[in-house]
Amino acid sequence: MISQLERQIVFRYLKTKKKDGFLNIISIFSFIGISLGVAVLIIVMSVMNGFRAELVDKIVGFNSHIIIQSNDIKNDLKLTNSKNIKNLSSSTLESSMGEVVLINKNFTKGLSLRGYKVNDFKKLEIFKNIDFDKNNKIFDKNNISIGKELSFDLGVNVGDNVLLMSPIGEDTIIGNLPKQEVYKISYIFESGLLEFDQNVAFVNINSLANLLNQDVTNRNIEVYLKSPLEIENAKIEFQKVFTKNFIYTWADLNRSLFSALKVERNVMFIILSLIIIVAAFNIISGLTILVKNKTKDIAILKSIGVLNKSIYKIFFLIGFYIGLTATIFGVIIGVLFSIYIENIRTFLSQIFDISLFPEEIYFLSKMPSEINIQSIILISFCSILATTIVSIFPAKKASKLDPIKALKYE
């Protein structure tokens, strides 16, 4: 418990006098340093959380959540009707994939093809803007949907033709030649990710099977989950049902990317935490000088019967109070900055006529930010812990001061 006397002395010492000007400067810089450290940490973690969330949304938006490589499509599709699978999944699609070479005039490019049944295209998030009642022939035989970036590279629009060359050979009178077919561009999609828009195209599943001579019984089953972020637990449940099939998820396909983001976030947390630690060490300097300046006061307090424990608590609470208020102030600044970060980015871009967070590099139209309560609690705890630890040494020094020696030289 803190007594009334201890509380009064703490607040009295926090209000430094003119003669303690240098001490006041140290206290102010300690407060500012801790506040800025906490605020910067919250802002950086919020932006990185937002960037990760946006990236997940985009990847999950055009990739199925779970892919099951089937050896017997009819029987495997029946397994998707089991109770556990139906509870986890929102929709199930039959698909196939393959690699081809796209040729258009003098442009040649390797292309990844994805094939679906005509009725299954409407289940894909990437084609949610299409009115399939009015445009039911977009994915008919030998029609192809390509990405916006690829259409720019090719210089083509909807209605133009491109040539697809299969790696599968076809016997002719002059020997075995790669199979080639002309496809009509029926739709141009935009995923928001440059690599996807340049390298992936969609066709009718039967057209793909014909072009690549694929066995229709060995296709993939793509599953969309009700909770795509709970992918690890869902994968375990699917492996229990599809024991003989190879299963992989969107997280498996992008594991290196998200591992890199996680490592980067942890490294940034450690590096930026040093700002708080350095600022916290200023509290040691401030309290040490305060103890030196208040030597006479401490001696008088001890002479009138104030216990060493009370002296310890007084100087400890001064450091703790500075750290606590600075942390709270930093949290407020960090949260407000994170909420209005896009407005701030737009304002700075207009004022200084520079491009902050350019869309063509990050593939995002605005600065992402997602405030995570757990991150704020962790940052606040680390900040208060650091200031608490550094307040212990000066407080102990003050409590062990000998009043006789202190008054002797006053």
CB 191 within 8 A of CB 62: yes
Q: Decide if pLDDT at 175 tops 70.
A: no
Per-residue pLDDT reduced to its tens digit, 204-243? 888 888 888 887 777 888 888 888 778 888 888 888 888 8
- What backbone phi and psi angles, to 5 degrees, belong to 67? -120, 125
Which value, to the nearest 10 degrees, does the dihedral of the CA atoms of residues 58, 61, 62, 68 take? Answer: 120
Q: Which residues pair with 144 in a beta bridge?
A: 185, 203
> With DSSP H G I counted as helix, E B as strand and the rest as coil, what are the percentages for the chain, rounded to 5?
60, 20, 20
Q: Which residues pair with 67 in a beta bridge?
A: 222, 248
- What backbone phi and psi angles, to 5 degrees, belong to 319? -65, -40
Report which listed range, 7-11, 24-28, 136-140, is most confident. Answer: 136-140
Within a domain: 72: yes
Within a domain: 232: no
Within a domain: 241: no
Whether 397 and 278 map to the same domain: the answer is yes
Within a domain: 237: no
Q: Which of 227, 242, 267 lies at the terminal end of a domain, its last residue? A: 227
The C-alpha atoms of residue 327 and residue 261 are separated, in whole angstroms, by: 26
Whether 27 and 157 map to the same domain: the answer is no
State mean pLDDT over 69-95.
83
CB 215 within 8 A of CB 224: no
State mean pLDDT over 162-191.
79
Per-residue pLDDT reduced to its tens digit, 236-267? 888 888 888 888 888 888 777 777 777 877 88
Whether 51 and 70 map to the same domain: the answer is no
Residue ranges making up the domain that contains 336: 4-57+258-408
Q: Which residues pair with 92 in a beta bridge?
A: 223
CB 145 within 8 A of CB 184: no
Within a domain: 240: no
In Å, what is the CA distance from 265 to each residue of 47, 48, 49, 217, 251? Answer: 10, 7, 9, 44, 18
Per-residue pLDDT reduced to its tens digit, 274-285? 777 777 777 777
Within a domain: 169: yes
Q: Decide if pLDDT at 410 tops 80.
A: no
CB-based burial, 254-273: b 16+ in 10 Å, e otherwise:
beeeeeebeeebeebbeebb
Specify the range with the lowest mean pLDDT, choosing from 149-153, 155-159, 169-173. Answer: 169-173
pTM above threshold 0.75:
no
Whether 75 and 214 map to the same domain: the answer is yes
Number of domains in the chain: 2
Whether 324 and 200 map to the same domain: the answer is no
Whether 368 and 317 map to the same domain: the answer is yes
Whether 52 and 82 map to the same domain: the answer is no
> Among residues 222, 220, 47, which one has the least CA distance to residue 126?
222
Within a domain: 387: yes
The C-alpha atoms of residue 34 and residue 17 are separated, in whole angstroms, by: 23
Whether 176 and 128 map to the same domain: the answer is yes
Q: Which of 208, 227, 246 lies at the terminal end of a domain, its last residue? A: 227
Q: What percent of the chain has pLDDT over 90?
A: 2
Whether 267 and 179 map to the same domain: the answer is no
Whether 177 and 218 map to the same domain: the answer is yes
State mean pLDDT over 110-131.
83
Per-residue pLDDT reduced to its tens digit, 6-22? 677 776 766 655 555 54
Within a domain: 249: no
Whether 167 and 200 map to the same domain: the answer is yes
Whether 124 and 182 map to the same domain: the answer is yes
